[in-house]
Every structure is written in C-alpha cells, then in structure tokens.
Structure 1
Amino acid sequence: TVLCTFGYIATLADRLLLFTRGMARDAQFIVDDEEALALTDDQLPPYTVLVPAYNEPEVVGDLLAAMAALDYPADMLQVLLLLEEDDTVTIEAAEKAGLGESVEILLVPAADPRTKPKACNYGLHFTTGEIVTIFDAEDLPEPLQLRRVVVVFDRLGDDVACVQAKLAFHNGTQNLLTGWFTADYALWFNFILPGLMKSQSPIPLGGTSNHIRRSVFDEIGAWDPYNVTEDADLGVRIAESGYSTAVLDSTTLEEANSDPINWVRQRSRWYKGYLQTWLVHMRRPVQLWRVIGTAGMLRFTTLLAGTPIIACLNMVFWMTTLAWLLGQAALIEEIFPWYAYFPALISLVFGNVAVMYMNFVACRETGHANLWWPCLTVPFYWVLMSIAAIKGTYQLIRNPSYWEKTFHGLSS
C-alpha cells in the first residue's frame, strides 16, 4: 500500500505539473485565419487524408460532407476512404452519398489483423501527399486545419515530425456519460498534451487528426498493425527516433460515446493498447532512455503503464475504503499501520479534489462551463474507467490484438 500510494502521489504531482505547463499560451501553436488563408496554392504541398472506416454506413454521408468542407485545393488534396473489401454496406452507402472531387475509395484486402492500423498501412502505399493525416469516420475537422498545419511545419524545423490537432465532442450535453467524456478530452487535449510538448516528453498521439510528414514514415516505419492503440505507439516511436510533436490549436469534433457498454469497449481497447505499447518499447529500455531522457522515461511509464494499472488498482482501494465506511474501521486499523494509512488517506482526499479541479478549469477554458454537474460526479466515471482497465488488462493476456469495434451514430 505504501508503494502504491507513492506511485499515486508521484503520478498526480507530475500530472499537475503538466497541467500547469499546458496552461501557458505558447504550449500550443496558434495560427489565425488570416495567416492560414494567406497561403497561395503554390505554397501548399500535396496532402493525403486517410479515412479508415468499417461498418459505418450511418455516418459515411456526414464524413464525405466534412471532407468536402476542407479548405484546400482539390488538385492538391487526396482523400483515401479505406474500406474493407467485404464491407458492402459501407461501400454502397459511400457510393450512394456521392464521392467528392478529391475522394476515392480504396478497398483494403479482407485479411487479419482486422485493425485500423492495418488499413492505414495499406493505404499508405497509395499516398501522394507530402503530409499524411488520419480522420475517423465520424470526424468533423475544422475546415482550415490542413492549412494551419502547413503553417506550423513551415515555422518549425525538420525535427518536428508530427502536428497533433485537438479533439472535442459535438454531443457533450447528450447525457451524463458524454459530459464526463467531454471533460476528460478537454483536460487531455488542451492541457496535458500541450504540457507534454512543453516538457519535451513523448506524446501519445490521438487516434485522429495527427498530421505527419510522409518522409518520416519511410524513416521510422508506419503503424504497428497488431497494436490496438497504434497512435500511442507511433507517438513514442517518433520521440524514440529523435523527432518531436507539436500541438496545434485547431479542433476536430467527434461523437462522444453515449452508451456505457460501447464506451467500456472503446476504453478497454485503449488501456490494452497503452500497456501493449509500454511492453513493446520496454524491450529496449536503455536505448529509449538515452533518447528521451530520465523525465521522458518516467512520463512514458506513468502515462502508458501507470494509467491502466492505477485504474485497475482503484477498484481494490475503493473496496478497502468501502469496508471502512461500512463499519470495519478496527479491521482497517489493524491491517494498515499509520505510515500506510495516513498517506493513502491524503492521496484519496487531495488526489480526487485536484483531478476534479483540473476538470472544472478545463471545461471552463474550453467553453463547456455548463458541464459542472459531470465535473462534480466524475468519481462515477472513474468506476467505469476501472472496469474498462480490468477488462483491457485481462484481454491483453487472452486476445492482445483483438480490435473491439466502437459503434458510432448514437448521438441524438
């Protein structure tokens, strides 16, 4: 318990430090509309957008509309809609909706592993752009996002391999779960990721809206088709190769999961992939440490291994706390001496209040001040996280590369 409490406190202290650094104005790159629109066609490089989709007929129409809304010259933009060759319902829906001028369907061979990174790797062979990005089927990217990315790459040196845009949800007020999820994303993409950038630590990329130089793939390799959080793995490999990632103040809207079972399926896959990524890169810990440094190594461990492990341990400590509340105080006192009990109690009180405070600030600063009730009730969200982490850890042992499908089109 003492060791676990130390891990909790160390992780929380670092999270607060990242949060503070992420509040700085220069923690993310800001490109105003005038600067983005000032780029002439001659200044814009060829751009490829990969859109992997599987069994998504209900959202493909909105997807094609979002791609058509991108402000980029049609002759410089390539949008590859990556569909599995046996996914007839989505193929028919896309053809019926009408493909835009820059959009083409690329049929991915129906072969294992049936994962998003496998489809992206296949699509990468057909790309023509100097910059490659991914949008998910339900994404609504800000129309000027591609232009803003070009400006950021022009500002920065060749050591920047990736520009990560921010993700948010368009249905944050649909129910309590979407409110929790929206607050979670507001904190992560607006403060924690920018804080990691300021700290020059590895950045676990979001699964979408990460814009990467095509030449970087040729140097460090593409996505791991067997990793179920291929974005986090690629983010670590970018840092491991000596490159860095910039965070851009441009938002892609997604659909927050409104169904608890669907949410647990998605989050358990993320937790499983985080552990997967940590285990893969810890095969060469000395090599990784030499490149990303001691602080980067600690954050790599607390984020990718610590996040799912702490979520699993939460259930154990909650049950212990529940036993104390239900009248077994004498038993708790007998089992846990003061040097274990009081630090754990401080961690419980201070840790929970600190995370709730960060959620409140994140929601207020991102225009979601109306989500005060989800911020107050967020401990119930942590229970769902713990269930998902336990499920993901178990699945890592039993079926590590199984991709649990997240269903979209559930928002009202």
Structure 2
Amino acid sequence: MTAVIPAQRRTRGGVTAFGLTADQSAASTLSRRQKQALGGVGALLLVGLVLSPTGTGNVLVVAVTLAYLAAVAYRLMCVKLGTTAPEAIEVPDAEALAVPEAELPAYTVLVPAYREPEVIGQLVGNLGRLDYPRDKLEVLLLLEEDDDVTRAAVARVQLPAMLRVVLVPDGGVRTKPNACNYGLQQATGDLITIYDAEDQPDPLQLRRAAVAFARLPEDVVCVQARLGYFNAGQNIITRWFTLEYVTWFEHLLPGLVALKAPVPLGGTSNHLRASALRELGGWDPYNVTEDADLGLRIARAGLRTEVLASLTLEEANSDFVNWVKQRSRWYKGYLQTWIVHNRHPVQLIRTIGWKGYLGFTLFVAGTPVLAALNPVFWYLAIAWFVAEPGVIAALFPGYVYYPSMVCFVLGNFAMIYAGLVSARAARRFDLLVAALTFPGYWVMMSLAAVKAVVQLVLQPSYWEKTTHGLSAPHVPAPAGEAVDV
C-alpha cells in the first residue's frame, strides 16, 4: 500500500514558496514604477506620432533592427562558444556505479502531474528504472487534490515503495511551481530534481548528478541534464522541435555557461542542492516558466549552473495547436521573468553585471518580443515587394532600408546555418531538412509569441495545459546504452 500525503493545509493565495516576497514574484505583472515608466514611454510615443509620424516610425524601425541584429549576434556568439567551450560534466557509467551506496546523498524526485492518466503506467516504469539505492530515494508524485482522473489512474497501478503520492491542496493558483513548492515542503533529500510525467531519464542520471555535485565547488547549486525527444521523426513539427533542443542543449546552453551569463533552466532534469533551493525561496508559483526564473535567481545570488552529460528523453509536441499552447506559456513566462527581475534594474545590473544583463535581456525578453514583431516586418517586406507603397518607403529611407535588408537576409541565413551546424555537430543528419525549412517553425513561434503577449495582459498566471501521450509508446534503451538526442 503506497502512502498518500493528504492536503493538510491551504496557503494564502496558493503561494507555497519558502521566502519570495511580492516584489520577487509574478503574482502582479507590473510594479507601480513599471506602470509609470510604461505610461511615460507610451505618452512619448503618442506625442512623437502626432508631431512627426514618419520620423517616429523611422526611429522605431531603427531601434527594432538594432535589437534584431543584437539578438542574432548574441545567439551566434553562444553557438560559437558552445562548440569550443569545455564539455559538459561527464560521469562515466563505471564511476557512477562505483560510489558505495552508503556515500550517496539522499535524493528527492518531484513529479508534478495534472490530468495525465494516459502516461501514469509509463511514468511508473521509467521511475522504476532509476538506478539509485531505494533507501535513499524518495519520489513524490504531486497530484492536484481534485484531479480525479489521474488519481484513479494511479490507483490502478502498482506503485514502487519509494514513491509517495502527495495531494496538493485545492485553491489559489494551479501551476507546476505551486505543486513543486508543496512537494519541497515534504521533501527530505539533500539533492532534488524534477521530472515531468512523460520523461524517460537516463537510469544512472541521479548517480551521475550526485558524483558531479561531489566534484564541484559549493557555489554550483544546479546541474542541468540534457533533454531530447524520443519521437523526433513523427512529423515536421517534432523534427523542428528536436533541432531546436539540439541547438539549445548542445550549443546555446554551454555558450551561456561559458559566458557566465544567467542560465534559463529547463523545466525538467535540473538537479539542485536542496539547501540552496530553499534559501533561494523555492519556485515562484505565479511564474509559468518557473525554471527560467529560478535560473536567474541562481545567478543573482552569485551561484552557478553547470551542464550534466546525461540525457532525459521527452515527448516532442506533435500537434500544431498543442505546440502553440505550450510555447505561448513558455514565452509568457520569459516575459514575466524579465519584468519581475527588472523591477530594480540598477540592482540587477550590480549583481549580474552589464554583460549578464545584456544577455538576459536579449535572450529572455528578446526571444518572445522579437518573435511577436516578426509578422509586422514580414508583412512590410511582402507589401513592399508586391506594391512598393509610399508609406513603407517613408518608413525605410536608404539609411534604414539597406541595414534592415542586410539584417533580414544575413540574419535569416545565419540562423538557418546555425541549425545546420547544430545538426551536423550532433550527427543528426535526419534533421538537415528540418534545418533548411526552419522558417516555417518561426511562423509558429510568432503565433505563440503574439498569444503570449495577449495572455500576459489578460491571464498572466494561467497555466495552459500541454497534452501528452500523442505519440506511439516508446521503449527506453537499457542503462548505459547510447541514445541520440
């Protein structure tokens, strides 16, 4: 009989963080000062459009063009550094298995699940493959109190002894970080990680992370394992998604680590020192990309994140509508993270430096904002080549038009080339066609970004559920066997 921890208490407003103040949380989107600053910029823009609409339009086009150039240049620099940076932390199988069980730290695995009955059987099997002493392993399956369908699915499965079901109290926000904070209150491990319900982690991943932490200095409080997809070949969307992950975990993430820039964590397989996580305040229950926010708070505290050479396989989103839902949530969370950490920008710059702040802005804010602006510039480009209207000619005088055209042509080519480089470096030749057709993925990104901006205004903390189980069941490779990312 597996123990079920009941909903023992509710927390005010659903907040179950360990020390975040209102100023550090996305519970409210804009602070009073930020609203005043936004209002001032809006008023200035309105005055400019009234007094000199063409001149104001020129300034806006130049500003956005420079932002595009900076964002593309920063990403390319990360990719370049990622190809030459020191390798991710390697812990060979033999070394991971050689550590005596008595010397391994206690480990807690948090698994938040909401309305996912279709993957419970697979989840239990994947967790059962984890090679870690059972007396030192604690797995907390975090279920919402009113999630009857998932609770019923769990009741039909024989659960291993190290797994406990934790019922998260109903009320307040219903988000993954809120559930994780409730699980953190119950956790007893020295190290903590999160797996999503559909994850298939490397069976030796916990051992590898424990060895890595023993090697690393105390200021490294997080090691992020690599993520990949087991259904990459299902359709063009999963191929694009896989190529994006290959670029991120093989090049961009190592590049950010090499730059000593803040690292937006992945939502799963980030392994943390429990004591540091509690001191940092846990997760922000109101931030829908809580992993990115935690990565920033790690950097602001003068602590570090490293990359672990261990793979967790996930299910790539294969459905267009489902993909847009998931990506719009990620983008909305990126915007929340940037806004929250910019409530005191001078203090932020003092803690992470100008370079870190520039990278944070270009990466975390620039990604969704520029994606949302893409349709505007695509429309302007199409309209110009079709009809050459005078209003566009006025917006793009020669000194603006030619740099913008260079940005448009070379920037797009550079990003496609970066995808080809990533596919080749990872020896994923099945992704070369996806790299060449990647602009189609940009259209999807832009739709998601526009939706994210709208939701940030109307439903900032709404957690849009991602449906899993859309691909054929996948049989994990045996421990120690190589798996393509």
- Normalised-by-shorter TM-score class: over 0.9
- The whole-number CA distance in structure 2 between the counterparts of 1:281 and 1:94 is 39
Rg larger for: 2
Q: Secondary structure at the match of 2:469?
A: coil
Residue 5 (str. 1) matches residue 65 (str. 2): yes
Percent of residue pairs identical: 54
- The whole-number CA distance in structure 2 between the counterparts of 1:11 and 1:335 is 22
Residue 268 (str. 1) matches residue 328 (str. 2): yes
What TM-score do you get using the length of structure 2 for normalisation? 0.83
Quote how far apart the aligned CAs of 1:267 are: 0.4
Q: Which residue of 2 aligns with 1:316?
A: 376
Counterpart contact for 1:27–1:195, Cα < 8 Å: no
**Correspondences of 1:181-220 after superposition (within 5 Å):** 181-220=241-280
What is the number of equivalent residue pairs in this alignment?
Answer: 412
Counterpart contact for 2:112–2:179, Cα < 8 Å: yes
Q: Which residue of 1 aligns with 2:319?
A: 259
Q: Which residue of 2 aligns with 1:347?
A: 407
Q: Which residue of 2 aligns with 1:103?
A: 163
Corresponding residue to 1:246 among 290, 298, 306: 306
Q: Which moved more, 1:344-353 or 1:401-410?
A: 344-353
**Correspondences of 1:54-93 after superposition (within 5 Å):** 54-93=114-153
- The whole-number CA distance in structure 2 between the counterparts of 1:218 and 1:88 is 30
Q: What amino acid does structure 2 have at the position aligned with 1:11? A: A
Quote how far apart the aligned CAs of 1:353 are: 1.1
Corresponding residue to 2:110 among 39, 42, 50: 50
- The whole-number CA distance in structure 2 between the counterparts of 1:280 and 1:331 is 37
- The whole-number CA distance in structure 2 between the counterparts of 1:330 and 1:396 is 35
Quote how far apart the aligned CAs of 1:329 are: 6.5
Quote how far apart the aligned CAs of 1:367 are: 3.7
Quote how far apart the aligned CAs of 1:140 are: 0.4
What is the root-mean-square deviation in Å for CA atoms of aligned residues?
A: 1.2
Counterpart contact for 1:52–1:116, Cα < 8 Å: yes
Structure 1 unpaired stretches of 5+: none
Q: Which residue of 1 aligns with 2:282?
A: 222
Q: Secondary structure at the match of 1:26?
A: coil
Quote how far apart the aligned CAs of 1:25 are: 5.3
Q: Which moved more, 1:102-111 or 1:199-208?
A: 102-111
CA deviation profile, 1:297-334 (whole Å, cap 9, x unmatched)? 10111111111110011111100111123232766434
Quote how far apart the aligned CAs of 1:153 are: 0.8
Q: Which residue of 2 aligns with 1:142?
A: 202
Counterpart contact for 1:162–1:212, Cα < 8 Å: yes
Q: Which residue of 1 aligns with 2:423?
A: 363
- The whole-number CA distance in structure 2 between the counterparts of 1:154 and 1:139 is 25
- The whole-number CA distance in structure 2 between the counterparts of 1:312 and 1:181 is 19
Q: Which moved more, 1:353-362 or 1:73-82?
A: 353-362
Counterpart contact for 2:175–2:463, Cα < 8 Å: yes
Q: What amino acid does structure 1 have at the position aligned with 2:337? A: T
Q: Which residue of 2 aligns with 1:15?
A: 75
- The whole-number CA distance in structure 2 between the counterparts of 1:27 and 1:192 is 13
**Correspondences of 1:106-117 after superposition (within 5 Å):** 106-117=166-177
Residue 400 (str. 1) matches residue 460 (str. 2): yes
Q: Secondary structure at the match of 1:59?
A: helix
Q: Which residue of 2 aligns with 1:384?
A: 444
Quote how far apart the aligned CAs of 1:364 are: 2.4
- The whole-number CA distance in structure 2 between the counterparts of 1:121 and 1:202 is 22
Quote how far apart the aligned CAs of 1:27 are: 4.2
Residue 36 (str. 1) matches residue 121 (str. 2): no
Counterpart contact for 1:187–1:362, Cα < 8 Å: yes
Structure 2 unpaired stretches of 5+: 1-60, 473-485
Counterpart contact for 2:175–2:286, Cα < 8 Å: yes
CA deviation profile, 1:28-59 (whole Å, cap 9, x unmatched)? 21221111111110221000000000000101
Counterpart contact for 1:27–1:197, Cα < 8 Å: no
